[in-house]
Structure 1
């Protein structure tokens, strides 16, 4: 498997001939985006690769479509060229209403879809939505629906790729990862907070990410979505402190990707 971190949560995954893109974000830095309920964030780092440099993709996994740090304007344009899009149920309705985007599959946590191989000689892929809670307890009606993705080669039990999505660490996620046999994980971190909501966090900080990696025990845990936006309060510094202070087996699993550089894992 080859991973190329493009920026934020956006990672190109090359798996058995498939080209899979996670959460496409290609807007330039500098703009402030509204996140609802009086919250906002400014993008501070642009993508390492533009859409033309990424090239065609067979499958796009969109953990949620309603926050611009996971799907921005240029990312939405990119979806028009994608072979297949998998996202949340609500996201599928919204994106499906855009006539230029499709086909789009919408999943709730625990549901799955089989994506047929786009070219001869490639395996079909089974994509299962995994649970996320993008904030404190009872926040889902406010922050919206989010999922992660477990991607398997059809017919195999082992998860070739798990993308965590934007989430805090909570009981539902702990139960889910204990049931997965994961090869490579993409773990979104950052410790998102907003001044308006004080100490409430909307994604994992470094300490929680270390705990999640210990629970999931993937062969490789690629770290993502911890920089590039003003709403990351734990950020890269907090994540590095947590990883550096973790047990050796956790440090060995953690993989820091350099934006724009393809890495074999």
Structure 2
């Protein structure tokens, strides 16, 4: 996408720079080594640290937070950053838990990012289901984000959020044209629930991108945590096997290198 710069900080955390805006997604800045409980007997250990410290990323104009109740999308250092962010956009339940410091959106609702001297950006919340059918009471609500601004030429910038492939995300290409997709992957699994997965598998990602047909695919949320079961190799292999050359649209951003848990 023209005039957009995306920096991968680690896991789902990216800095999106466009038209003078600095937009941060799912802030995770804790060092590696700690184990985090995700509820219902599940947990994960952080294996690698962020490529940049929060102080190196700030100031930011807005934070897009797909959900605030899992530490691989919002950790302790990320929560401290939220308090300094002028705008936070997240789920309605998340906004309530953040004591009203965020704008809460339900799927397909919109909000505007506005600032003097910058073009406005329309943020549309897109559906997510963070696990198999009927898992929402356990996994909690999640949203993705579609960003639209005046100078876009080919379509929106879409951040999928943590989701599996289901009817809700299949609706995205029916409602909008996507130029670039920030694709949350990892095929998250936990020993407690066996082969059930809670984020896109490589095969699901291929199927989704065939539906969406983005010009640019940026994989994130596939490394740095023990509950990810598919990394870069599995994703690259799945996309390389497609007859329509979807693999040529993959853009791998540099991986975090600041720290690794022993």
Per the normalisation by structure 2, the TM-score is: 0.92
Measure how far apart 1:253 and its partner are: 1.5
Structure 1 residue aligned with 2:218: 222
Query: Mapping of 1:98-247 within 5 angstroms?
Result: 102=101, 104-117=102-115, 119-120=116-117, 122-153=118-149, 159-247=155-243
Tell me whether 1:87 sits opposite 2:90 in the alignment: yes
Tell me whether 1:49 sits opposite 2:52 in the alignment: yes
Structure 1 residue aligned with 2:62: 59
Measure how far apart 1:130 and its partner are: 0.2
Moved more, 128-137 or 206-215: 206-215
Confirm or deny: 8 A CA contact 1:126 1:154 kept in the other structure: no
Measure how far apart 1:260 and its partner are: 6.0
Measure how far apart 1:233 and its partner are: 1.1
Tell me whether 1:33 sits opposite 2:36 in the alignment: yes
Structure 2 residue aligned with 1:253: 249
Measure how far apart 1:236 and its partner are: 2.3
- Distance across 1 between alignment mates of 2:149 and 2:219: 23
Moved more, 154-163 or 207-216: 154-163
Measure how far apart 1:177 and its partner are: 2.9
- Distance across 2 between alignment mates of 1:23 and 1:78: 11
Gaps of 5+ in 1: none
Per the normalisation by structure 1, the TM-score is: 0.91
Measure how far apart 1:178 and its partner are: 3.0
Structure 1 residue aligned with 2:260: none
Q: Map Cα deviations across residues 167-186 of structure 1 (whole Å, 9 max, x no partner).
A: 00012211223322112110
- Distance across 1 between alignment mates of 2:10 and 2:155: 24
Structure 2 residue aligned with 1:15: 18
Confirm or deny: 8 A CA contact 2:49 2:256 kept in the other structure: no
Measure how far apart 1:160 and its partner are: 3.2
- Distance across 2 between alignment mates of 1:175 and 1:244: 25
Count residues in correspondence.
Answer: 254
Kindly report the root-mean-square deviation, in angstroms, between the aligned alpha carbons of the 2 structures: 1.8
The alignment partner of 1:77 has SS state of helix
Measure how far apart 1:224 and its partner are: 0.3
Confirm or deny: 8 A CA contact 2:130 2:136 kept in the other structure: yes
